[in-house]
Amino acid sequence: MRIPVPEVLLPAEALGKVHFIGIGGAALSGIARIMARRGVPVSGSDDNDTPFLPSLRELGVVCHLGYSPDHLDDADTVVVTTAAREDNPEVVEARRRGLRILPRSAGLAAVMDRQRVVAVTGTHGKTTTTALLTVALRAAGGDPTYAVGGVLSSTGRNADLGAGEVFVAEADESDGAFLVYSPHAAIVTNVEADHLDIWGTEEAYAAAFVDFLDRLDPAGFVVCCVDDPGAARLAVAARTRGLDVVTVGEGEDADLRLTQVLLPGRDGFASSTTLVSADGEVSLDLRIPGRHYLVDAAAAFAAGRRLDYPVDTLVAGLRDFTGTQRRMEFKGEAGGVRVYDSYAHHPREIVGDLEAARSMVGAGRLIVAFQPHLVSRTRLFGREMGEALGAADEVVVLDVYLAREDPDPDVTGVLVAAAVPLAADRVQYVPELMAVPSALSTLAAPGDVVLTLGAGSVTSVGPDLLALLEERSHGRA
C-alpha cells in the first residue's frame, strides 16, 4: 500500500511512541533498531517471526506476531511497510484513531537528522555497496550509523546506531523512497529499467534519479559507476548541476578506474583488481567473487576517500568484508557440492552472479535454481531472465513469487524456462517450492556448485538441499 509522505518530516524523538506494522522486514526492523537505540519507545507487529526480531527484543522492543488493533496500545505514530494491505487491522485502527501514519521512507528520514548521510542507490547493488562502505568506514575508525537491506556478516545486523558523524543508508528507488531524503552525498551504482509497475515507463524511472540529484547537498558529492550507461548519463547531469562527481568503472575515462580484474583473484582471494586514479594505484582484493562486486567496492572506496578516510584502512576494511546475507552467500557444502544463495532477480543481476559463480566452479558444473520475482517484472523481463540463465549448465525454474501482486495465469515461470538457451533436458520447470530441493539433489554431483537465485522464498531451498545431499553422502537416501 502507498502511504503519503507528510509535508513536514519530524525527527525520531518528536514522534512519540512509534509502532511498526511489518517490523520483521529488512527495512523496518533496521529503522526500529536505530530508533530504539536512540531511546525512542518502539513496538511492532509482523506475520512472521523473522531473523531480524530477536535482536530487537534484546533491546526491549515488543514484537507481536500477527496483527491486532490492540497492538497499537498507546502509540502516537505508526510506520507501515509497503507490503501491508489496506484492510490490515492495525492500519484500519491507526486511521480510526487519527494517528500519525508514515511510510518506510519517512521513518528512515526521521533518524537521519543528526549525521551526514551518504545514500546508496541504483537499480542493482545497493545492499552490497551500502554494506561495503559501512564495513570500510568501520575499519577506518568511522563508527557510522548504518541501515542496510541485508544482514552484514561482520556484525550480524542490518542496522545500528554509531557514534560517528556519517550515516550510511541504502536508499530505495523502487517506490520513490530516495526522493524523501536530503543526503550529503550519494553513490549511484546503475540506472536500468526496473519497477515499471510503479514508475510506468523507463523514462520516468530514469527521471527520478535526476530528481534525486536535486536532493543532494550542493557541498557534497556523488559517485557514479559509469560502466552502466544510465549512471554515466546521470554523472553528466550531476556535473551540469555543479556537483562534485567521481566516476568509477573499467573505462579509460573513469576518475577511479578498475584494471587487471581477476576472477578468481590474487593470493587466494575471490576477486581482485587494481584501482588507478590521479592519486596513483591501489590494489584491491575481495573475499567475495564477482566483477560487479569489485565495482561496488571501488565505489565504496571512492566515497570513503571523499569523506577523508585513509587509503590503507579503507582497503583493509574492504579486503576483510565477508558479505551480506542473500548476496552470493555460502550456505554450506555436503557430498562434495557447494551451495550458494543470492538475491538476484533482474537480468543484469543474474548475469553478474552467474559470472561470479562460474569463477568458483572449477571442473564441476554450475546448477542454478531461479525463482522469478513479481508478475510485472516477469512479464517485462522474463525472456531476458531466461537468456541470462543460459550461462549455467543446468537450470531449474520455479513459479513466480508474487510478493505484493496478484497472480496472472499468463505470466508464470514457464515464460522464463522457455527462454533458457539450453537443451530441453537441461532445463526443468518445477513450480512448487517444496519439490525444488529434491530436483536439485538429483542433478548435483561432487564438484558442482548449486546457486539459488531470487528475491523470494527460494532462499529456503539451500538448507533443505544440503540436508538431502548429506543424507545421500551417508547412504541414507
Which one of 123, 127, 129, 145 is the catalytic residue?
127
Which one of 126, 134, 192, 324 is the catalytic residue?
126
331 is catalytic: no
252 is catalytic: no
Report the alpha-carbon distance of residue 385 to residue 401 in Å, rounded: 14
7 is catalytic: no
Provide the CA 50 distance to its chain's centre, in angstroms.
17
The answer to whether the CB of 412 falls within 8 A of the CB of 431 is: yes
Only one residue has cell 568503472, namely 249
Which one of 93, 170, 329, 349 is the catalytic residue?
170
Strands of the sheet containing 337-342, edge to edge, are 329-334, 337-342, 449-453, 366-370, 394-397, 427-429
The answer to whether the CB of 102 falls within 8 A of the CB of 79 is: yes
Task: Give the per-residue SS3 of 276-305.
Answer: EECCEEEEEEECCCCHHHHHHHHHHHHHHH
The answer to whether the CB of 221 falls within 8 A of the CB of 156 is: no
Distances (CA, A) of 190 to 107, 206, 294, 303, 408: 25, 10, 14, 16, 30
Report the alpha-carbon distance of residue 385 to residue 418 in Å, rounded: 10
Residues known to be catalytic: 126-127, 170
